A = this chain, B = another copy of it.
């Protein structure tokens, strides 16, 4: 770490800082400039908390030189991770094509949507059985019944399934039915939940919070990794913006930024990022062009009766169209969309 002292820091303050650093078994290397004094801390950065240093009188700024995420860091793990979701690969040139309705609904509908998305090229099927809704009066999901419907539709059409978990007490039951656990944007810093999914053996789809920095996202991934679960896929799904013409602001640059910092695969979710079906194709293609390892799109065959998020869903025929364009883009970029392996599904 590097400490920049305040203009006018006294010798007593400087001595006090050095004392504190040395008491921790670290060395401080002093450098006096014309206006400022700098201290380079030499030794194991983990031994010392950035906050404690910042709170010492006379310290103006503390600059860490190592990222606070160790397991998620590309430095620590220079080979890109490939996450295997019951046979479907994401990362390392393999694209995850996740599609399905926002909420799990009745079995016949789920079957129809699974069939259509599979035919269009999707390799992972999604649907929410536990829905984090902003209103306590809105549909909250079908629960365990929904998990079963989802799994059945996925199995019938040979697609592993992805579903959200919102309650640490439900991680076990959801893991029984789902091939991949989703942690939603609103729970990205629900550290209790992250710790629980970190103990699961299921791969995790971790969505970026609406005001989470890239470092925040990687620290949340670190929670999961530090519990022993190394199968994490990150998802950019739009951050809070100031223009109400889209639901969120799609931060496509997050894809190459993350690729420079972490070995974990990164996918994009243009459905939540924009909230507008007419913008999904352009943003899905933009995500792939930026290097994303997959695309998550919500699909519903009758949006006006959808239990949630109908207005942002693509119709199956619209999904088929954008999936075909994504396939061509993948080819140009030298990426593969592996067909799901029916036998491998949960």
Taking Cβ atoms with an 8 Å cutoff, the residues of A that contact B are 2, 4, 7, 20, 29, 31, 33-36, 38, 40-43, 45-46, 49, 51-57, 61, 63, 65-66, 68, 75, 132-138, 166-169, 186-187, 189-193, 195, 209-211, 213-216, 219-220, 222-223, 226-227, 239-246, 249-253, 255-257, 260, 273-274, 278-279, 282-283, 285-291, 303-306, 308-311, 313, 328-329, 332
Contact B242 A253, beta carbon cutoff 8 Å: no
Question: How far, in whole Å, are A40 and B32 apart by their CA atoms in the complex?
Answer: 8
- Say how many copies of this protein the assembly contains: 4
Contact A169 B168, beta carbon cutoff 8 Å: yes
Min distance, Cβ A38 to any Cβ of chain B, angstroms: 5
Min distance, Cβ A193 to any Cβ of chain B, angstroms: 8
A239 — which chain B residues lie within 8 A by C-beta? 211, 241-242, 249
Contact B189 A189, beta carbon cutoff 8 Å: no
Beyond the given A29-B31, A31-B31, A190-B190, please list 10 additional residue pairs across the A-B interface where CB-CB is below 8 A.
Answer: A46-B137, A51-B311, A55-B310, A186-B189, A186-B191, A187-B190, A252-B286, A282-B291, A283-B290, A286-B286
A328 — which chain B residues lie within 8 A by C-beta? 332
Contact of A186 among B190, B243, B305, B308 (CB under 8 A): B190
Contact B190 A52, beta carbon cutoff 8 Å: no
Min distance, Cβ A206 to any Cβ of chain B, angstroms: 14
Question: How far, in whole Å, are A321 and B259 apart by their CA atoms in the complex?
Answer: 19
